[in-house]
Structure 1
Amino acid sequence: MHTLLPFFIAMIAAVVLLCMLANKIRVAYPILLVIAGLLISLIPGLPTIKINPDLIFFILLPPLLFEASWTISFKEMQKWWRIISSFAFLVVLFTAFSVAIVTNYFIPGFTIALGFLLGGIVSPPDAVSIGAITKFVKISRSTSAILEGESLLNDASSLIIFRFALVAVGTGQFIWQQAALSFLWMVIGGVGTGLLLAWLFVQAHKRLPTDASSDIALTLIEPYILYWVAEQLHSSGVLAVVAGGLFMANRRLFFLNSSSRIRSYNVWESFSFILNGIVFLIIGLDLPEIVDGLRSKGIPLRTAIGYSLLVTAVLIVARIISSYAALIATLIFRPGVAPRVNSRLGRLLTPLLLGWTGMRGVVSLAAALSIPATLANGNDFPYRNLILFITFVVILLTLVLQGLTLPYFIRRANVFRDYPGEPPETAKQKLLQGLRSHTYQFLKDKYDNGMQDHGGMRQWLQHWEEKMKASNEDWMSRKTKTVFLEMLECQRQYIAELNKDPSVDEELIREQLFLIDLEEERLKLSMR
């Protein structure tokens, strides 16, 4: 333990430094971390990294899913739920099926069950990789919502396929009736468990005398509770975390105060950054050990690389085909919700770019490592080392190949730059103008008659009357701080109601709510 502790501390330091370098050279940090991990692993004398799948499934995955569900726009998910659902479930199934057919045909002795096992492992794209790569280019709200929503749900569907295939490999049989019932329970039980526990968590935050520190501490353990309880009930822990996280995220205004919201944002951003960085660094560090395991089974490295390239090509082609199929289905059955583009060429290129966003990562790594070394009868698990090697190469290739080229393709295609509806700056100005008018009317209706002789209140009303026509001003009156806090709550209610309008960008809503929280915290500090 004492020898490994400095190594893990050095890993965290390396993550921070490499992310700084990635931002400077404008490369997505998962790409740089994987390559750096691979190079570091070649240094002689370093301790061997043996990854326990429980480390990823039960320690890293729940908080990462929980954090992602808090940051995604639920309103955009509702708007694009058809294409998100198709990518999260149908496309994952189609991808796994394609991998199963191709590997069964090209890899000697590789059964259909093993093919589905491998397909379930490598089918889900990684949300962190996509987000890190697309932050250097401008993409539309619809595309961002589709990618983020898909990444939240496809982990569950791929792990369900993986579990069924694992049972089929171990027992040599597959009973469709039992599989269908198990699938329904995993989905319904996972979502139901997540919603029920999330409701209990919300009540606990509201009714217990919590402060910012205790609220943050509770949110840190809640994803683990969601995941563990759902898994104990033999349902999907991933869906439980996602459903519970979405439920709580859309009620954060009602059970967390401004201090808890602001501080938890910073804590969770740093926490998820460290977890993601460690995972991608470990991917590169563990590849040499996988190669050694492959050689111990007598599989030539060149042959294994060829199989890995084949599976990677199948994944990319299957996702691109699925993207075009989704666009065609949308244009036929729901043309009104099809993404708006400037030209026919843009419409043709959009599915191609969407299909090129299939970088793999955390979930694929965890699933591959969780394959048992032996079957129930004591025999070695067939092709385990080859499956591990293919998974690691797929993660590496999709991150490097697609990750490095995706920003260039998006800039060259120029199909994601125009937002549907009014420009973001116009929408922001309209939101601020409505907020100022609402605030002025609130002060005038409630305090104008009762505080006519109050000099500070007259100045305040005059200020907000002018603020409806002007931009920002730096102002404060100590005598009116209590009224100001009440006014801020009124602003929150107005913003929350405005968020129900589908045409209003939820990013603008969250930005204004965050600014209101900051203003309230500043006032509370000055009143102490």
Structure 2
Amino acid sequence: MLDNFPFYLGLLIIILLLIMLANKIKVAYPVLLVLAGLAISFFPGVPVIKIDPELIFFIFLPPLLYEAAWTVSWKQMWRWRRIITSFAFIVVFVSAFSVAIVANYFIPGFSLALGFVLGAIVSPPDAVSAGAILKFVKVPKTLSSILEGESLLNDASSLIIFRFAMIAVATEQFIFYKAAISFSWMVFGGVAIGLLIGWLFMKAHKYLPTDANLDIFLSLLTPYIIYLAAEEVHSSGVLAVVSCGLLLSNNRHRFLSSKSRLQSLNVWESLCFILNGLVFMLIGLDLPEITKGLEETSLMTAIGYGVLITFVLIISRIISSYGAVIVTLIARNFITVADNRNPGYKTPFILGWTGMRGVVSLAAALSIPVYLNNGNGFPQRNLILFITFIVILLTLLIQGLTLPYFIKKIKLNDIYDPVPRHEAANHLKQELAEFVLDYLKTNYEGQTEHNPSLQHLIQKWEQHIKGIDNEIISQDHKHIYLDLIIQQRKWLINKNKEDQTLDESIIRRQMHYLDIEEEKLRYI
């Protein structure tokens, strides 16, 4: 390990430079990192990189899922729950089923069970790739909320299908009622474990004598403990981490101080930035190890199979996207749906085109055992690995590079964002300032006449209403200003619950501002 330390150090520097280059040329950094890893792997003397699937599932995946759950809006997930669950479960299953049928028919030696193994591996889109691309283009918040919600759940659904397909390959049989019981335990057991442990950690944060550093340390431990606990009892570790992250994120203002929230945000952003960069570089570096296993199938034939499966995945996801929208349009005649606006033909295409695959697919492929329980080699393992790599590479290149172009050409804002976000944010600030001013005059009425500092505070919030900011506050009235911050948080939380159409990211930005204001009081 120490012998290769200069190589790994240089790798980190290359990752940082490539991400800066990606930001400069406005290309999603996963694309550049995979290509760079691929190029570096051909250099003579480069150490052979062999990705251990447990490294991905137990080291990389829990914190990345946990951070994503903290970022996503539960309100938006609930509002778009039907379309999110459709994409996270039904579309993933349709993709896996399509791949299974095509692989069984066109690839020699592939049984239907093996086809489902491959389909389960390559069916879940990668959240990091889509998120990196959406940074460079203006996309309606509704659309990004759907993609974020899908990305939290589709890994769980694909890994569940993968487990059942592996059992079918090993035993050459599929018992439906046992699979149904196992599926129910994996889903509901995973969610229950995540909520239970999340509740315990929430109480630990709230009642134990912690500070910001201890809170951050506890938050770093949380996803690993939850994932391991859920996997130990054969439920879904992915759903456990996601459900815990959503619970804690939705209650963050009840058990974390403003200092803990501010510092943990920076720590988690930096940690996930490093992890995301590493996993995509490792995908490219692992190619020589993958191609080395291709013995019976020629390289060009294997590439052809990879292109075929990629084509099937892209087409099946786009068709499924239109199918999900059609079902929603029909269902709204019988049940209340989250939104009655007609998305047209543009939105399903964009949702269908955001299907880049990533590291979870590769880790699942690598986790296939070399030998079955009876001692025979696992059929087509090396070919499955190679096809998975081709799918990841092609979806990143084809969809990753063209998605920004399609988003710019297809105007979606008029459908989903009738009120621009900056206007909604300004309106929220004015409403909040009016609430604060009314609270000051009502609760501190007797102190205003003969108190210049309090009069100055009232003037300050009157200026806020007019759009003029003045941050000066008297030392002897910190407690009044702190009371105002607490009341603003309560008002914002209630506003978020009452107004279902309000983008929660606007609320969170204002909450973040209040945290900064509270921390500033320590130094005034």
TM-score (norm 1): 0.96
Aligned to 1:174: 174
Aligned to 1:512: 510
Distance 1:260 1:321, change over 3 A: same
Give 1:318 deviation, angstroms.
0.6
The answer to whether the Cα contact below 8 Å between 2:216 and 2:260 also exists between their aligned partners in 1 is: yes
Name the SS of the counterpart of 1:360 in structure 2: coil
Name the SS of the counterpart of 2:371 in structure 1: coil
Distance 1:435 1:338, change over 3 A: closer
Aligned to 2:475: 478
Pick from 296, 299, 303: which aligns with 1:298?
A: 296
User: 2: CA distance between counterparts of 1:47 and 1:139?
Assistant: 41
User: 1: CA distance between counterparts of 2:456 and 2:168?
Assistant: 75
User: 2: CA distance between counterparts of 1:125 and 1:231?
Assistant: 22
User: 1: CA distance between counterparts of 2:353 and 2:463?
Assistant: 50
Which runs of no fewer than 5 residues in structure 2 stay unpaired? none
Which runs of no fewer than 5 residues in structure 1 stay unpaired? none
Q: CA offsets, 1:115-137, max 9 Å, x none?
A: 00000000000000000011111
Give 1:458 deviation, angstroms.
1.9
Single out whichever of 373-382 and 453-462 deviates more from structure 2.
Answer: 453-462
Amino acid at match of 2:226: L
Amino acid at match of 2:28: A
Aligned to 2:362: 365
User: 2: CA distance between counterparts of 1:195 and 1:65?
Assistant: 15
Give 1:449 deviation, angstroms.
0.5
Aligned to 1:227: 227
Give 1:5 deviation, angstroms.
2.2
Give 1:469 deviation, angstroms.
2.6
Give 1:339 deviation, angstroms.
7.1
Give 1:512 deviation, angstroms.
0.3
Q: What pairs with 1:105-116 in structure 2 (closer than 5 Å)?
A: 105-116=105-116
Amino acid at match of 1:66: Y
User: 1: CA distance between counterparts of 2:184 and 2:351?
Assistant: 29
User: 2: CA distance between counterparts of 1:427 and 1:89?
Assistant: 33
Q: CA offsets, 1:415-459, max 9 Å, x none?
A: 346543422122112101111111112221222204532221122
User: 2: CA distance between counterparts of 1:416 and 1:402?
Assistant: 21
Aligned to 1:434: 431
Amino acid at match of 2:392: I
Name the SS of the counterpart of 1:449 in structure 2: helix
1:403 is aligned to 2:414 = no
The answer to whether the Cα contact below 8 Å between 1:410 and 1:416 also exists between their aligned partners in 2 is: no
1:316 is aligned to 2:314 = yes
Name the SS of the counterpart of 2:242 in structure 1: helix
The answer to whether the Cα contact below 8 Å between 2:94 and 2:316 also exists between their aligned partners in 1 is: yes
The answer to whether the Cα contact below 8 Å between 1:140 and 1:417 also exists between their aligned partners in 2 is: no
Give 1:63 deviation, angstroms.
0.3
User: 2: CA distance between counterparts of 1:171 and 1:418?
Assistant: 50
User: 1: CA distance between counterparts of 2:52 and 2:11?
Assistant: 17
Name the SS of the counterpart of 1:27 in structure 2: coil
User: 1: CA distance between counterparts of 2:121 and 2:144?
Assistant: 24
Q: CA offsets, 1:207-255, max 9 Å, x none?
A: 0011110000000010001100001111000000000000000000001
User: 1: CA distance between counterparts of 2:362 and 2:116?
Assistant: 16
Q: Cα RMSD between the aligned structures?
A: 1.4
Q: What pairs with 1:100-499 in structure 2 (closer than 5 Å)?
A: 100-294=100-294, 297-334=295-332, 337-338=338-339, 340=341, 347-416=344-413, 419-450=416-447, 452-499=449-496
Give 1:484 deviation, angstroms.
1.1
Single out whichever of 102-111 and 460-469 deviates more from structure 2.
Answer: 460-469
User: 1: CA distance between counterparts of 2:459 and 2:96?
Assistant: 65
Aligned to 2:6: 6
Runs of 4+ in 1 over 3 A off after TM superposition: 335-341, 416-421
Give 1:350 deviation, angstroms.
1.9
Aligned to 1:37: 37
The answer to whether the Cα contact below 8 Å between 1:83 and 1:326 also exists between their aligned partners in 2 is: yes
Aligned to 2:71: 71
User: 1: CA distance between counterparts of 2:501 and 2:296?
Assistant: 59
Aligned to 1:502: 500
User: 1: CA distance between counterparts of 2:273 and 2:365?
Assistant: 23
User: 2: CA distance between counterparts of 1:103 and 1:334?
Assistant: 36
Give 1:316 deviation, angstroms.
0.4
The answer to whether the Cα contact below 8 Å between 2:202 and 2:255 also exists between their aligned partners in 1 is: yes
User: 1: CA distance between counterparts of 2:114 and 2:376?
Assistant: 15
User: 1: CA distance between counterparts of 2:156 and 2:363?
Assistant: 13
User: 2: CA distance between counterparts of 1:298 and 1:9?
Assistant: 37
The answer to whether the Cα contact below 8 Å between 2:460 and 2:469 also exists between their aligned partners in 1 is: no
The answer to whether the Cα contact below 8 Å between 1:327 and 1:338 also exists between their aligned partners in 2 is: no
TM-score (norm 2): 0.97
Give 1:167 deviation, angstroms.
1.1
User: 1: CA distance between counterparts of 2:231 and 2:287?
Assistant: 29
Distance 1:370 1:417, change over 3 A: farther
Amino acid at match of 1:325: G
User: 2: CA distance between counterparts of 1:347 and 1:468?
Assistant: 39
The answer to whether the Cα contact below 8 Å between 1:139 and 1:417 also exists between their aligned partners in 2 is: no
The answer to whether the Cα contact below 8 Å between 1:99 and 1:315 also exists between their aligned partners in 2 is: yes
User: 2: CA distance between counterparts of 1:272 and 1:10?
Assistant: 19
Give 1:472 deviation, angstroms.
1.8
Name the SS of the counterpart of 1:379 in structure 2: coil
The answer to whether the Cα contact below 8 Å between 1:330 and 1:338 also exists between their aligned partners in 2 is: no
